[in-house]
């Protein structure tokens, strides 16, 4: 996973952004891109502003945010009007579907942008007292001028776990995965839990397996819609697989020679499985 190293976050007014700024324009989580053969390319602000002036194209912006800069170019995110349509040569595409088509660093910046756009949209009004909120001038937050409540972008941390038993790993199928695909188990952190407790609870709940030696692997933003995936490896400590049928269709132990279809390279699940495959010989 190539996260953008040259990204400098910033907050501030999007109104002063230069015409060549990268423009992350979203409509309900779908990103507006130029399509060139199979590749996708981000528009810049000048492209979009030209389209805004074209009365034949329905492409107005509801809100904009300044996200910082990347290789010296400003980044602006935009929420498109609900009636917006992609003009000729452009496409409004589900962000996840763009992983293999957009430059990877820009994809991960889009993953930030989609969450900021959603947060901005969802926190126009204070959730406690109903007063319109105001942008904080120096940090990514909105404040309520009436009751003082601060609204930060919401992140939902989740653990994702590769469980090992000898030369086998535990993989499971949820009904949301593509046909025949198996993946590592995952679940959201509950208030008051340590990550290690979440790992133990989720594995026990979903497949009735106990684990030990829980160790950190790495993390990944997962903007569908606002997770932070925190990856672990763990060792089998006991129990037989009994699946929670509300969450899982099937689960089993696999060796490197019997692996089923596994998730694509975008996901930390795949990174976990690949790291284990690399250790088998
Ligand atoms: Zn309030």
Tokens 């003082």 found at: 148
Mean pLDDT across 121-135: 96
Looking at per-residue pLDDT, the higher value among 156 and 62 belongs to 156
Looking at the fold, whether 74 and 186 belong to one and the same domain comes out as: no
Distance 142 CA to ligand 1 centre (A): 10
- Residue 223's Cβ-count burial label (10 Å; 0-12, 13-18, 19+) is buried
Residue 221 lies in a domain: yes
Of 122, 145, 166, which residue is a domain's last?
A: 122
Q: How far is the CA of 117 from the centre of ligand 1 (A)?
A: 21
The verdict on 32 and 79 lying in the same domain is: yes
Say what percent of the chain tops pLDDT 70: 97
Number of domains present in the structure of the chain: 2
Query: How far, in Å, is the centroid of ligand 1 from the Cα of 157?
Result: 26
156 phi and psi angles, rounded to 5 deg? -115, 100
In terms of domains, do 26 and 79 share one?
yes
Which of these ranges, 10-19, 133-142, 240-249, has the smallest mean pLDDT?
A: 10-19
Q: How far is the CA of 141 from the centre of ligand 1 (A)?
A: 13
Residue 118 CA to ligand 1 center (angstroms) comes to 19
Q: What percent of the chain has pLDDT over 90?
A: 75
Q: Is residue 20 predicted with pLDDT exceeding 80?
A: yes
| Residues 215 and 265 placed together within one structural domain of the fold | yes
Residue 162: which CATH number?
3.90.79.10
Through-space distance between the first and last CA atoms of the chain, rounded to whole angstroms: 24
Inside any domain, residue 195 = yes
What is the Å distance from ligand 1's center to 225 Cα?
Answer: 25
Q: What is the whole-number distance in angstroms between the Cα of residue 135 and the centre of ligand 1?
A: 13
| pLDDT (tens digit per residue) in 41-85 | 999 998 888 877 565 556 677 889 999 999 989 999 999 988 888
Summarize the confidence of residues 145-157 as an average pLDDT: 96
Clarify whether residues 118 and 163 are in a common domain.
Answer: no
CA of 137 relative to ligand 1 center, distance in Å: 18
Whether residue 58 is contained in a domain is answered as yes
Per-residue pLDDT at 209: 97
Three-state secondary structure string covering the chain: CCCCCCEEECCCCHHHCCCCCEEEEEECCEEEEEEECCEEECCEHHHHHHHHHCCCCCCCEEEEEEEEEECCEEEEEEEECCCCCCCCCEEEEEHHHHCCCCCHHHHHHHHHHHHHHHHHHHCCECCCCCCECEECCCCCCEECCCCCCEECCCCEEEEEEEEEECCEEEEEECCCCCCCECECEEEECCCCCCHHHHHHHHHHHHHCCEEEEEEEEEEEEECCCCEEEEEEEEEEEECCCCCCCCCCCEEEEECCCCCCECCCCCCHHHHHHHHHHHHCC
Give pLDDT, residue 149: 97
CA 63–ligand 1 middle distance (angstroms): 21
Task: Please write down the long-range contacts of 218-221, taking CB distance under 8 Å and 24 or more positions apart.
Answer: 218/268, 218/271, 219/268, 220/1, 220/267, 220/268, 220/271, 221/108, 221/111, 221/112
Measured in Å, residue 143 CA sits from the centre of ligand 1 at 8
CA of 203 to the centre of ligand 1 (A): 39
Of the residues 122, 144, 178, the one at which a domain ends: 122
The per-residue pLDDT for 9 is 87
Residue after which a domain boundary falls, among 103, 122, 141 = 122
Structural domain including 66 reads 7-122
Q: Say if residue 26's pLDDT is above 90.
A: yes
Distance 124 CA to ligand 1 centre (A): 11
Rounded average pLDDT over 9-20: 86
| 114, 29 Cβ separation under 8 angstroms | yes
User: From the CA of 149, how far away is ligand 1's center (Å)?
Assistant: 5
Q: Is residue 145 part of a domain?
A: no
CA 93 / ligand 1 centre spacing (Å): 35
Distance from Cα 154 to the centre of ligand 1, integer Å: 17
Q: What's the pTM value of the predicted model, to 2 decimals?
A: 0.88
CA of 265 to the centre of ligand 1 (A): 42
Q: Could you tell me the pLDDT band of residue 10, with boundaries at 50, 70 and 90?
A: confident
- Does a structural domain hold residue 131? no
Q: Which residues, other chains included, contact 146 with Cβ-Cβ below 8 Å and sequence gap of 6+?
A: 126, 129, 131
* Model pLDDT for residues 220-275, shown as the tens digit of each residue: 999 988 999 999 999 999 999 999 999 999 999 999 999 999 999 889 999 999 99
Joined tokens for residue 230:
């925190």
pLDDT at 54: 60
94 and 205 co-located in one domain:
no
| Amino acid 57: pLDDT | 57
The confidence score (pLDDT) of residue 30 equals: 94
Q: How far is the CA of 132 from the centre of ligand 1 (A)?
A: 8
Q: What is the pLDDT of residue 88?
A: 86
Expressed in angstroms and rounded, the spacing between residue 130 Cα and the centre of ligand 1 is: 6
Cα 116 from Cα 136, distance rounded (Å): 14
Kindly give the distance from the C-alpha atom of residue 119 to the centroid of ligand 1, in angstroms, as a whole number: 16
Same domain, 78 and 170: no
* 74 and 179 both lie in a single domain: no
CA of 147 to the centre of ligand 1 (A): 4
89-109 residues labelled b (16+ CB within 10 A) or e (exposed): ebbbbebeebbebbbebbbbb
Q: Round the average pLDDT of the chain to a whole number and report it.
A: 92
């Amino acid at each position: 996973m190539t996260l953008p190293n040259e990204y400098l976050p910033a907050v501030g007014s999007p109104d002063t952004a230069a015409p060549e700024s990268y423009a992350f324009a979203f409509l309900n989580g779908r990103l507006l891109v130029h399509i060139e053969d199979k590749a996708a390319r981000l528009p810049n602000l000048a492209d979009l502003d030209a389209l805004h002036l074209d009365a034949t194209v329905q492409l107005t912006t509801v809100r904009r945010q300044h996200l910082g800069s990347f290789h010296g170019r400003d980044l602006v995110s935009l929420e498109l009007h609900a009636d917006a349509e992609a003009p000729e040569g452009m496409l409004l595409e589900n962000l996840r579907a763009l992983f293999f088509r957009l430059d990877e660093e820009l994809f991960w910046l889009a993953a930030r942008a989609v969450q900021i756009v959603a947060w901005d949209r969802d926190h126009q009004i204070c959730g406690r007292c109903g007063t319109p909120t105001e942008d904080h001038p120096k940090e990514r937050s909105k404040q309520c001028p009436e009751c003082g409540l601060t609204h930060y972008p919401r992140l939902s941390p989740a653990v994702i776990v590769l469980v090992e038993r000898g030369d086998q790993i535990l993989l499971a199928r949820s009904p949301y995965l593509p046909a025949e695909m198996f993946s590592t188990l995952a679940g959201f952190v509950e208030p008051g839990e340590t990550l290690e407790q979440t790992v133990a609870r989720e594995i026990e709940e979903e497949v009735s397996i106990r684990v030990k030696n829980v160790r950190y692997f790495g993390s990944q933003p997962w903007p569908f819609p606002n997770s932070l995936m925190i990856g672990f490896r763990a060792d089998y400590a006991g129990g037989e697989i009994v699946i929670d049928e509300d969450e899982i269709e099937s689960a089993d132990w696999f060796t490197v020679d019997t692996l089923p279809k596994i998730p694509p390279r975008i996901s930390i699940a795949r990174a976990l499985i690949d790291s284990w495959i690399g250790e088998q010989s």
